[in-house]
């Protein structure tokens, strides 16, 4: 396919590479061309506008930072909804508001376009290895049409139902993640205070009932002091705020998620918003 890709960041760059490996023709847009020189050298075609990248594309993938960025690239002047050709698949892989996903889908249908919300989980490692979990909302026929794209990017690919359901599933993921990563941090903090060899402790418990993706992938980074972002603290705060709003609309109590959000807000206030989520260990090292 000829695919437009909007948002070539930490995860987007690996996703562009994996799509090209499958023979897709990639047209990319990013605010700073220099930051995408490596994937341009590998064959991606850079454009200086969203409209330029989208023109003639059979599919358009977006993975940007915040809901306001999604609004801008879809609804802005010369945005995706105005520039995409009839019948194009529009796939927003940003973690954003379910309400916004529903709005994009409705306006896309009115213009003869097909829209899916398809947020992902797995971070920079999953993006690099094409092992992302992909949760998809929208019409099932559009999901099937997009399947070859998803199969180039991930392994656990699930149709979740109507527009917005991909985002609701990602909210559930982010809620569950909070408890998992905080639990890892607390286990490490306890082990240090008890005088244990922390790596031995992790090796012991990671194969039992306490084991998790966070323990296997984020705990080693914590121990090395590697806080490079596979997923930014500031973006996780955005996600938990969306989840809290959606939970509030449904009168669902989430005390653990609320406490984890407060921890991350404290990290951001201390200037750590651009670190990876594994930097939560810093909250326990005060």
User: 111 catalytic, yes or no?
Assistant: no
Query: Do the beta carbons of residue 155 and residue 135 sit within 8 Å?
Result: no
CA distance 230 to 218: 10
**Which tokens sit at 237?**
């705060």
Q: Six-digit token pair at 185?
A: 């941090």
3-class DSSP state of 49: coil
Q: Are 119 and 95 in contact (CB under 8 A)?
A: yes
- Find all residues with CB under 8 Å of 207, minimum gap 6, and list them: none
| Residue whose entry in the numeric block shows the structure tokens 């917005």 | 164
Reading phi first (left if > 0) and then psi (alpha if -120 to 50, else beta), residue 161 is in left
Strands 132-137 vs 120-121: parallel, antiparallel or unpaired: antiparallel
Number of residues assigned to the chain: 286
Per the listing, tokens 């709005």 go with 103
Here the tokens at position 16 are 């562009």
Catalytic residue (choose from 33, 35, 162, 170): 170
Positions marked catalytic: 170
């Amino acid at each position: 396919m000829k695919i437009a890709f909007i948002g070539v960041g930490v995860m987007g760059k690996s996703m562009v590479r994996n799509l090209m490996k499958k023979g897709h023709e990639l047209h990319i847009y990013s605010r700073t061309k220099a930051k995408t020189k490596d994937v341009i050298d590998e064959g991606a075609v850079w454009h200086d506008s969203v409209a330029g990248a989208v023109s003639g594309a059979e599919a358009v993938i977006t993975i940007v930072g915040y809901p306001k960025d999604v609004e801008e690239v879809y609804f802005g002047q010369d945005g995706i909804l105005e520039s995409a050709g009839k019948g194009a698949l529009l796939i927003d892989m940003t973690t954003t508001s379910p309400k916004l996903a529903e709005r994009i889908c409705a306006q896309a249908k009115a213009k003869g376009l097909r829209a899916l919300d398809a947020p992902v989980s797995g971070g920079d490692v999953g993006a690099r290895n094409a092992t992302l979990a992909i949760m998809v909302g929208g019409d099932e026929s559009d999901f099937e049409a997009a399947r070859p794209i998803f199969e180039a990017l991930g392994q656990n690919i699930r149709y979740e139902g109507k527009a917005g359901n991909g985002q609701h599933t990602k909210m559930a993921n982010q809620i569950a993640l909070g408890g998992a990563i905080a639990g890892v941090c607390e286990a490490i903090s306890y082990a240090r205070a008890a005088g244990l060899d922390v790596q031995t402790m992790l090796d012991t418990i990671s194969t039992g009932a306490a084991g998790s993706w966070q323990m296997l992938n984020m705990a080693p980074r914590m121990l090395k002091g590697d806080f490079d972002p596979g997923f930014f603290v500031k973006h996780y705060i955005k996600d938990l705020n969306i989840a809290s709003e959606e939970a509030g609309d449904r009168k669902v109590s989430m005390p653990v998620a609320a406490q984890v959000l407060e921890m991350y807000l404290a990290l951001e206030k201390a200037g750590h918003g651009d670190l990876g989520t594994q930097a939560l260990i810093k909250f326990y090292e005060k």
